[in-house]
Every structure is written in structure tokens, then in C-alpha cells.
Amino acid sequence: MIHEKIELHVPGSADYAAMYTYFLDLSKKVPIEKRPTVIVCPGGAYAFTSDREAEPIAMRFNAIGMNAVVVRYSVAPARFPTALLEVATAVKYVREEGVKYGCDPEKVFTIGFSAGGHLAASYGNFWSRPFVAEAMNCPSELLRPSGQILSYPVITSGPFAHHDSIKNLLGEQYELEKANQSLENFVTKDTPPTFVWHTQPDDCVPVENALMLVSALQKNGIKTEFHMFPEGGHGLSLCNEVTSNSDAQLLPHVGKWFDLAAEFLQSL
């Protein structure tokens, strides 16, 4: 495996900001020349990036033959669009440099959890905006996500918002800019195919976040798969012993989200 730490440097990046590659070795014994790559955005309310939604997710994708990159993006006091541009850097890297490690440039996906879901969804909506290509000094098409997985995502800045996430993202610009982070209002034809899952009892990030986004995706004709599970709280990650910190997070039925999401990516 090619496992490297690559520092991230965009305007506003914190010293710790980095992406970590999990690229499977190419082997003459395995007739695979290129693999899909998933860029992982852990959650943490834009205050930290969760270990439970980082390397274990990358390793799970490795186990089904996909490459992965974990983005430990800048959080508060870093502000929008720093983290978004760090994700753009990872996408650009996979397309430009990842080819020599067997990354398929036609299959570069994002996955985000909670606030990381907001980051992934934000990137999915805004990747084609001129300010992103200008910051990356490349054509917008190089930055296009091939699809996205959103796990119990923070989406809205309205009545169902996880306000701490949006406040950490915007800081002193919260009141002025919060409407621009209500992502259900910014879905376009450029938003990539999307897999969304959430739990109905989530009392941290209400399931309405997912419902509002799915409605917007449907209105714009975006290929979408959505699962609302009737049990479980927030921050479940893989729902198994690898990522759980309590018995309440051991939920085999909810954990089926991963196989469903992998099938969705394979269909793209």
C-alpha cells in the first residue's frame, strides 16, 4: 500500500491540514490496472475531524478493492472556503498524480459524515464555481466529483440546522453568510450522483437535513439513492466493533449502508 501524508496548503489552511493516501499496490498477480478512489471527509462539527470516520472508512473501501484518501481538513478557526479548497486539492491530486498509483481518473468519489457530509455536499454543489477552479489553477472539469456518499449529513442552516457546525464554519460571518450554507438551496445539474443515509431518531442532526437535500436532488433530476433507518442515533460510522464506542452503536442492520453505498458507486 502507498500510505503517505501530504500536507495541504490553501489560503487559511491550518498547520495540521493534510491528506493521507491509502492506495492499494498494483500487482502482476491481480489483473487490475486502475481503481476507483474515495475521498473521505470525517465529521466533527467543523471543530475536529473524527478518527472513527477516517482511517476505518478508508480501510473498509480498501477491503473491496478501492483506493482512498482521508482529508484531515482545517477546522475552526479556519473558515469557509478553506476546507472546501482542501477537498478540491485532494480531487485534483488523485486525477493528476494518482494515476501512477492506479487511481481511475473517471471514478473519483467523495464521502462525508455529519459536518464532513456538509463539506462533501458543499463540494458537490460548488465544485464548478469559478472561485474553486481559480484557486486550484486548473479547469473545473478536473475537479468534478464522480459521485458522493453523504452519511447523516449536516445540510441546512435553517430551522433543522446543526447550528454549531455552521457557526464553526463561518465564525463572525455566521449571520451574514449562513443562508449560503443551506445546501438544499444550491443543488444544480452539476451536483453529482448522490447516495444519502440517515437515521430517523438522530437527535443531533435531524433527518430533515437529508430529506430536504433529497427533495432538491429529485427536483434537479440527480441520480439519488436514499435510506432512512428506523433505529440508531448520530455518528454511527460503520455501526460495528471497529468504530463503535458504545453498544448502542452496534447496529448490523444500519451497517448495511456501506454495502448499499458501494453498490451505488459501482453503478456509476
Question: What string of pLDDT tens digits covers the 268 residues of the chain?
Answer: 999 999 999 999 999 999 999 999 988 888 898 999 999 999 999 999 999 999 999 999 999 999 999 999 999 999 999 999 999 999 999 999 999 999 999 999 999 999 999 999 999 999 999 999 999 999 999 999 999 999 999 999 999 999 999 999 999 999 999 999 999 999 999 999 999 999 999 999 999 999 999 999 999 999 999 999 999 999 999 999 999 999 999 999 999 999 999 999 999 9
- Phi and psi, residue 254, nearest 5°: -65, -35
Supply the pLDDT for residue 265.
98
Supply the pLDDT for residue 35.
97
Supply the pLDDT for residue 98.
96
Supply the pLDDT for residue 198.
98
pTM of the model: 0.98
C-beta of residue 225 within 8 angstroms of C-beta of residue 236: no
C-beta of residue 205 within 8 angstroms of C-beta of residue 234: yes
CA distance 266 to 24: 18
CA distance 241 to 246: 9
Supply the pLDDT for residue 20.
98
